[in-house]
Structure 1
Amino acid sequence: MPLIRAFPGLRPAAGRAADVAAPPYDVMNEAEAREMVVGRPWSFLHISRPEVDLPEGTDPYAPEVYAKAAENLAKMEDEGVLVRDEKPCFYVYRLTMGEHVQTGLAAVASVDAYDNNRIKKHEFTRPAKEDDRVRQVDALNAQTGPVFLVYPSTSVVDSTLAEISSAAPVIEVTAADGVLHEIWVVADKTTVARLTDAFDAMDALYVADGHHRSAAGSRVGAVRKADNPNHTGDESYNYFLTVIFPHNQMQILDYNRVVKDLNGLDPAAFLSRVGEAFSVETSDLPVKPSQPAEFGMYLDKQWYRLRLSGERIPSDDPVGRLDVSLLANNLIDPILGISDPRRDSRIDFVGGIRGLAGLEKRVDSGEMQVAFSFFPTGMEDLMAVADAGEVMPPKSTWFEPKLADGLVSHVLD
């Protein structure tokens, strides 16, 4: 079974991509999703967030929600808004966000490789979210949200994708956030074989974003395999939808923290405790860390630059040396008393796309008392954690730009 393979994608008909393309289902709340579909009857949100077509207050996990998604998908196919390619293809997918450009490959990846950790994970998943994605795939009989994978950059793949994307794309759409999405269809058998072989020679791929979707792909595959007495391994349920980018083109932004209180300390006592592990300098400007083990802190309308002493940084622990771990182990847990950031309501997380002003706003409003800015986690750090079979702390990475939903889907035959 190859690591990846081509597939007959379900995608927008010519001229319909702008009508269909939607942000990933999990980057907005229900109210925002309802607003986004106003005047957009063919938005893919009608499939990925079908509760927008049901009464407000509908449980998003109710059976009628998944049934509505299936109804909406069938309607988009019946009306010719979405069409399926007649033969297996790869799809080159390029994202352009300002000066940043990354070019990857949409393909389906092996469930067996995922189950055997050749497609490596770095996060825990939550059962409720996994169950939701399983029900969605079963209802649609299709995988519509691609898993964001990374491959170690290799010249064979990189040069092939660059050559293909030098032509005019078949899909070109600029999303509401200004990100340009472009897609090229790869139907030539020789090129498909070259890419398939190049990926099959790789030791591993890495899940960057989409742990719940990949876990759901594995679960759906296992159930359908068990239910099929004539299982061969070639069935479409043995694969899940992905877009795979080279590691050296990835853009990881900082994933910052805000905390509601100082754990019973007054600001002076808190700063004194922080100074036991960090050098502390005031700053007249917002602090955007420029290197690992450096942090910004915003407290009482004052920014501080924190630097952790070198002897506190473990050299042989791929998880412990992450900046998110360093701040947790030297400040957030021992000083602020937050030992389980997954469940503690006193801490919240702010994606770097919102900027440092987003941190200031949360603190100045009185909602939070202190904020921390981070240097972004490196792609090599993520890969090292996955290679070690370890798990990163929650909210360690924020990838930008995001993939769009609806530009290519995988139908399960």
Structure 2
Amino acid sequence: MAEIRPLRAWRYNHALAQQIEVLTSPLFDVVSAKQREALYRNPFNSIHLSVPTGEHAHDKAAELLHRWKNTGVLVHDVMPAIYVYYQHFSLAGQSRQYCRKGFICNIKAYDWKENVVLRHESTLPNAVGDRLALLEKTELNVSPTHGLYTDPNHELEALMDEAMKAPLYETEDYQGVRDVLAVIQDANAIKKFVQVLSEKQVILADGHHRYESSIAYRKAQTASNPDHTGQEAYNYHLMYLTNTESEDLRILPTHRLVRDLEGFDTETFLEKLSEYFNFKTIEDACMMPDIIAGKKWAFGLVFNDRAYKITLKPDKLSEIDWNFPQAIKELDLTVLHYFILEKVLNIYRKEQTRSPHLLFERNFTECVSQVNKGLAQVAIITSEVSMDDVKRVCALGHTMPPKATYFYPKVICGFVFSSIMQKEFESIADEVFTI
């Protein structure tokens, strides 16, 4: 199963790291234009490596990385390590405090067909190409993707908790999340991490484009290396791993906004929907997330003058003719995308990811605001996807509908960087960690 190994991370030098909060940045695919503008003003912020700008941006990132290494902005850790990463957070409207526990390591960039790392969503070619170009130029994993392993015995948590008694960094990020990083360099402890993951498959939760760029890079390097062994630096990818059995692993819903759809008429839309769904009028649209939570095939419809809870008529499920296994057809989001988007709104499956008439929005309040301002014709409110659903889909070798999951919180960029230059990747201690 999954082969992981510790890494000798590149990290900001001690003086700079005293203000680590001004050096970290959101991931490339979630950072907003306004955030970028502010972060670019700091010449040492990690965004210059993760989201370089201008002409020949990837070359500039490689040049900057070379300069930072040579001038000591970044320092190479001497010993290979597992980096423990905890994220403390709360959710809107809740008093409960969560702590998502995980660790950062290198993992072999398995191809999907090897059935070791499993994906649950599809990727867009353009985004993969951008990440691959950056990887080729810098030979650096700038930020970890997020993977999930299943360990009901929680064998690694005690080791991680112990490491957290002496954290390296602690900061509050752009999400209001408290991010804490610690390090494990003890050989026996690291071997335990390697052993536990050697028996596991990994579900890729977040970072599909970055992971696929590592697969593509590995394949290209393998093809050009007649002496390929499988242990070269280019075979590996940086990943943050968390346990699916943790109660603090949160998946937030992503709602759908329909806008600028020519000929859209509310009454006609509702009439067509009534063929497939039962309706209940909701007086207070703000209660919609609570009303549909946990209800099978239930969704909210929010217009500027009314709101409904709709529930699929059970006998209609058999009408789904997409070539999916039954378990995929039974997903709430499959029901939404098939009946509401395709059958009623004529936004067909192949168009749904890129349709200009379909927006994906996590913030429920923003959905209501968009409708009330007339910027969206209807908001389709969804419930969160369960971890069991994600596992079920991955086990079948399929992917979920677009924007099915939003694992919260997102990891941040800037705590550790992982080189896949062979001379920087190797360590005389590597043999100690093999099992």
Contact 2:127-2:209 within 8 A present in 1 as well: yes
**CA displacement 1:150-189 (0-9 Å, x = unmatched):** 0113325343344334412111111132111111111100
2:141 and 2:238 in contact (8 A); partners too: yes
Partner of 1:343: 354
- Alpha-carbon offset, residue 316 of structure 1: 6.2
Instruction: Please state whether the residue corresponding to 2:107 is helix, strand or coil.
Output: strand
Q: Residue 305 of structure 1 is aligned with which of 304, 309, 313?
A: 309
CA distance in 2, matches of 1:222, 1:374: 38
- Structure 1 distance, partners of 2:409, 2:159, is 19
Alignment match, 1:225: 222
Distance in 2, matches of 1:322 and 1:263, equals 29
Say whether residues 1:138 and 2:139 are aligned partners. no
Q: What count of residue pairs does the alignment treat as equivalent?
A: 398
Q: Is the 8 A contact 1:151 1:244 kept in 2?
A: yes
Equivalent position of 2:340 in the other structure: 331
Partner of 1:86: 78
Worse-matched range after superposition: 150-159 or 314-323:
314-323
Letter in 1 for 2:300: G
1:301–1:78 CA distance, 2 compared to 1 (3 A): farther
Question: For 1:319, which of 317, 328, 332 is the aligned residue?
Answer: 328
Instruction: Give the letter aligned to residue 309 of structure 1.
Output: K
Q: Secondary structure at the match of 1:173?
A: strand
Give CA-to-partner distance per residue, 1:125-163, whole Å, 9 cap, x none. Answer: 222211111111111111112111001133253433443
Mapped contact 1:104–1:161 kept (Cα < 8 A)? no
Give, in angstroms, the shift of residue 310 of structure 1: 2.8
Counterpart Cα distance in 1 of 2:250 and 2:317: 24
Q: CA-atom RMSD, angstroms?
A: 2.1
- Pick aligned residue for 1:43 from 37, 42, 45: 45
CA-to-aligned-CA distance 1:198-250 (integer Å, 9 cap, x gap): 11012x11011111111111111122222233322221111101001111332
SS at 1:377's partner residue? coil
Secondary structure of the residue aligned to 1:318 is helix
CA contact (8 A) 1:263 1:335 kept: no
- Classify the secondary structure of the residue corresponding to 2:328: coil
Task: Give the structure 2 partner of residue 274 of structure 1.
Answer: 273
CA distance change for structure 1 residues 343 and 22 in 2, over 3 Å: closer, same or farther?
A: closer
Q: Distance in 2 between matches of 1:313 and 1:378?
A: 20
- The structure 2 residue matched to 1:372, chosen from 363, 369, 380, is 380
TM-score under structure 1 length normalisation: 0.90
What SS is found at the alignment partner of 2:221?
helix
State the shift of 1:115 in Å.
Answer: 5.1
CA deviation after TM superposition for structure 1 residue 410, in Å: 1.1
Instruction: Give the Cα–Cα distance (whole angstroms) in 2 for the partners of residues 160 and 212 of structure 1.
Output: 32
Cα deviation for residue 304 of structure 1 reads 1.3
User: What is the rounded CA distance, in whole Å, between the counterparts of 1:310 and 1:19 in structure 2?
Assistant: 52
Structure 2 length-normalised TM = 0.86
Give the drift of 1:194: 0.9
Return the alpha-carbon distance in structure 1 between the equivalents of residues 264 and 412 of structure 2: 45
Structure 1 residue 111 displacement after superposition: 2.0
Distance in 1 between residues matched to 2:36 and 2:212, nearest whole Å: 25
CA distance in structure 2 between the partners assigned to 1:45 and 1:103 by the alignment? 25
CA positional deviation for 1:29? 4.2
Distance 2:98 2:7 in 1: 28
Task: Name the structure 1 match of 2:37.
Answer: 34
User: Is structure 2 residue 220 aligned with structure 1 residue 212?
Assistant: no
Structure 1 residues 163-174: aligned runs within 5 Å: 163-174=161-172
Residue matched to 2:433: none
1:410 — aligned with what? 418
Return 5+ residue gaps in structure 2 as ranges.
91-96, 319-323, 423-435
Could you tell me which residue of structure 2 aligns to residue 236 of structure 1? 233
In structure 1, C-alpha distance between the alignment counterparts of 2:346 and 2:395, rounded to whole Å: 31
Residue 189 of structure 1: aligned partner: 187
- Give the match's secondary structure for 2:29: coil
Q: SS of 1:279's equivalent?
A: strand
The alpha-carbon deviation at position 30 of structure 1 amounts to 4.2
Identity %: 26
Q: Secondary structure at the match of 1:319?
A: helix
- Counterpart of 1:344 in structure 2: which amino acid? S
Distance in 2 between the 1:256 and 1:191 partners?
A: 42
Structure 1 residues 152 and 230: CA distance shift in structure 2, 3 A: same
Q: Distance in 1 between matches of 2:157 and 2:206?
A: 24
Counterpart residue type for residue 328 of structure 1: H
In structure 2, the partner of 1:101 is: 99
- After superposition, the Cα gap between the structure-2 partners of 1:322 and 1:199, relative to the gap in structure 1 and judged at 3 Å, is same
Given that 2:26 and 2:413 are in contact with CA atoms closer than 8 Å, whether structure 1 keeps it comes out as: yes
Q: Which moved more, 1:306-315 or 1:87-96?
A: 306-315
| Paired residue secondary structure (2:413) | coil
Moved over 6 A (4+): none
Letter in 1 for 2:326: D
Contact kept? 1:121, 1:386, Cα under 8 Å: yes
Please report how far the alpha carbon of residue 31 of structure 1 lies from its aligned counterpart in structure 2 after TM superposition. 4.9
CA contact (8 A) 2:2 2:202 kept: no
Alignment of structure 1 residues 287-298 onto 2, 5 Å: 287-288=288-289, 289-291=292-294, 292-298=296-302
